[in-house]
Structure 1
């Protein structure tokens, strides 16, 4: 499902003394099936942009196109419901959105709300419990009896249960330890590939953007200021610094390593695995030449 922003601007409390312009003439294209990271410092407009993707906010000016649906300041009713059926959002701390008395009912809530038959919704809930690595017996438990990591997985299952075409991830690993963050991000990456989703990751983590995304959009003070591949955007230290962002840790380490050995590596490594492979190859070449 293709997504485009066409000269999109947004203001909170427009035409009042409290008006605050949050987005300025955003132009962006997100191809169907792609994995896009939206990065930027706090207050850059990332979350406001995200909320336009399922009609929680509508543009003050301009147009958001999601598949065949156009969203403008005047859009209402059935069009927004269709969009929300196709766009799933995993917010920060999604476990705070749990409310049903059992895990099964919580996961089924979204599909039932969109008219999916109960038996189909129940089957999908149990399928997701297994896919997300949860014990089978959690289905009949209260979600509030579970560990924090399990609660988050249940909340994620509730978003995935109605099979969205577009998955929006708003800092989905906030508050998790490094192992938990990696497990959850790998899980989303697997769903992205296996289900053919259009995935949009809104994040402060340059490392997650580098590891998972195919395309990067940089937001700054309500403007989309940079756009391109991770290789072009996330290795440009001067441009990133202009928008108060740093290089990913792996790229910084590579630059330090290259200065230390007095030699440039073949390409910019965006993951630890890529960097380790290049350093190992360099060591093998050095050994063969000695």
Structure 2
């Protein structure tokens, strides 16, 4: 499901004394099946952009196309139902959205709301409980009896249960420890690959953008100022600094290493593992007899 923004502007409370322009002339495209990271400092417009992706906000000017649906300022709710059926959003702290009396019912809510038969919805709920590494007996427990990490997995299952084509992740690891962050991000990567999802990660983490995304959009003061592969967008320190962003940690380490040994590595290291691999190869080459 291709997504495109064409000359999109958005203002909160337009034509009032409280008008606040939040997006300015956005022109970006996201290809079906891609993994895109949207990065930017606080207040850059990331969240406003995200809310246009399933019609929670509509552009003040311009158009947003999601698959076959064109969204303008005049688009009515009925036209947005198909978009919301195909676009799932995992918000920050998604466990705060749990509300049903059992885990099973909470996961089933989305599919039932979109007309999926009860038996099929129940089957999906139990499949996701297993896939997300939750104990089978949580199905009949209250979600509020679970640990924080388990609650988050239940909330994620509720989004995945109606099988969206597009999965939007809004800072999905907020509040988790490093191990929990890695587990959740690897879970999303697995679903992205196995289900062929179009995944959009909205994040402050340069490391997550570098590790998982194949396309990066940089937001700054309501504008999309950069877009391209992470090897290009996330390796230019001067350019990122202009938008109040830093290089990913592994790229910083790489540049320090290259200055130390007076030699460039063959490609940007977007993860610590890739950097270690290239340094090991360089050391092995240096140790071999000429």
After TM superposition, is the score higher than 0.5?
A: yes
TM-score between the two structures when normalised by the length of structure 1: 0.99
Matched residue SS, 2:288: helix
TM-score (norm: length of structure 2):
0.99
Aligned twin of 1:288 = 288
Q: CA deviation at 1:262?
A: 1.3
Report whether the alignment pairs 1:51 with 2:48. Answer: no
Equivalent position of 2:139 in the other structure: 139
Q: Aligned with 2:176: secondary structure?
A: coil
Tell me which residue corresponds to 2:165.
165
Give distance in 2, aligned partners of 1:56 and 1:205: 24
* Pairing of 1:116-195 with structure 2 (within 5 A): 116-195=116-195
TM-superposed CA distance for 1:289, in Å, is: 3.4
2:13 aligned residue: 13
Give ranges in structure 1 of 5+ residues lacking alignment.
Answer: none
Alignment map for 1:80-91 (pairs within 5 Å): 80-91=80-91
Question: Which residues in structure 2 correspond to 1:18-37 (within 5 Å)?
Answer: 18-37=18-37
SS at match of 2:6: strand
Q: How many residue pairs end up in the alignment?
A: 290
Structure 1 CA distance, aligned partners of 2:198 and 2:77?
24
CA distance, structure 2, for counterparts of residue 107 and residue 272 of structure 1: 36
Aligned to 1:289, the other structure's residue is in SS state: coil
Q: Could you list the runs of 4 or more consecutive aligned residues of structure 1 that deviate by over 6 angstroms after TM superposition?
A: none
SS in structure 1 of the partner of residue 235 of structure 2: coil
Rounded Cα–Cα distance in structure 1 between residues aligned with 2:23 and 2:151:
33
Give the secondary structure class of the aligned counterpart of 1:184. Answer: helix
Equivalence for 2:231: 231
What is the CA–CA distance in structure 1 between the aligned matches of 2:156 and 2:133, rounded to whole Å? 12
Cα distance in 1 for residues equivalent to 2:36 and 2:107: 26
Distance in 2, Cα, partners of 1:239 & 1:228: 13
Q: Name structure 2 gaps, 5 residues minimum.
A: none
Q: What is the deviation of 1:17? A: 0.5
Alignment partner, residue 220 of structure 2? 220
Residue 77 of structure 2 is matched in structure 1 by 77
Alignment partners' CA distance in 2, 1:254 and 1:58: 42
**What is the Cα deviation at residue 77 of structure 1?**
2.3
What is the root-mean-square deviation in Å for CA atoms of aligned residues? 0.6
* Structure 1 CA distance for aligned equivalents of residues 164 and 92 of structure 2: 18
Q: CA deviation at 1:261?
A: 1.2
